[in-house]
Structures are given as structure tokens and as C-alpha cells.
Amino acid sequence: MKVIYDRETDTLMVIFADTPVAESDEDKPGVILDYDASGNLVSVEILDASRRVTSPGQIEYQVAPLTA
């Protein structure tokens, strides 16, 4: 998984798979979902990220503990 914030275009992208995008859907204004040919989610793109996301230039990554 990759997270890219482009300050110049104010775009935040979360890429889940390095797979070609076959279809894109603007789920809500400024939120674009990209899908591969099988319909799997490939990435999420957030336009005007600095207005929609708190601190788009910072990232925190956590893995939830396994439950028994």
C-alpha cells in the first residue's frame, strides 16, 4: 500500500494495489474510487485534500492486534 500527498495539486492518494485502473467512480464530490477490471478497489483519490483531511502531509499507520 502507498499513500501519496501531492502538495502542488492538493491531492491525497491511497493506492492499495499496483494494478491498472479499469474504471473510476466519483463516489462523493472530490472522492474518486478506482477499480481494476475485476471490480476490486485499487485506489482512493481525495481532491482538495487540505480542506477534507486533517494534516494530509502526515501519516500514522497502525496494525490492529490479532484477537484469539
31, part of any domain: yes
Please tell me the distance from the alpha carbon of residue 35 to that of residue 20, in angstroms, as a whole number. 8
7, part of any domain: yes
63, part of any domain: no
Q: Flag whether pLDDT at 60 surpasses 90.
A: no
65, part of any domain: no
Q: Where are the beta strands (DSSP E) in the chain?
A: 2-6, 11-15, 23-28, 31-35, 41-46
66, part of any domain: no
Please tell me the distance from the alpha carbon of residue 36 to that of residue 34, in angstroms, as a whole number. 7
**Residue 43's CB: how many other CB atoms inside 10 A?**
21
**Residue 47's CB: how many other CB atoms inside 10 A?**
15
29, part of any domain: yes
46, part of any domain: yes
68, part of any domain: no
Number of domains in the chain: 1
Q: Tens digits of per-residue pLDDT, 1-43?
A: 999 999 999 999 999 999 999 999 998 999 999 999 999 999 9
Q: Which domain holds residue 13?
A: 2-52
pLDDT of residue 53: 84
The whole-number average pLDDT for the span 51-64 is: 84
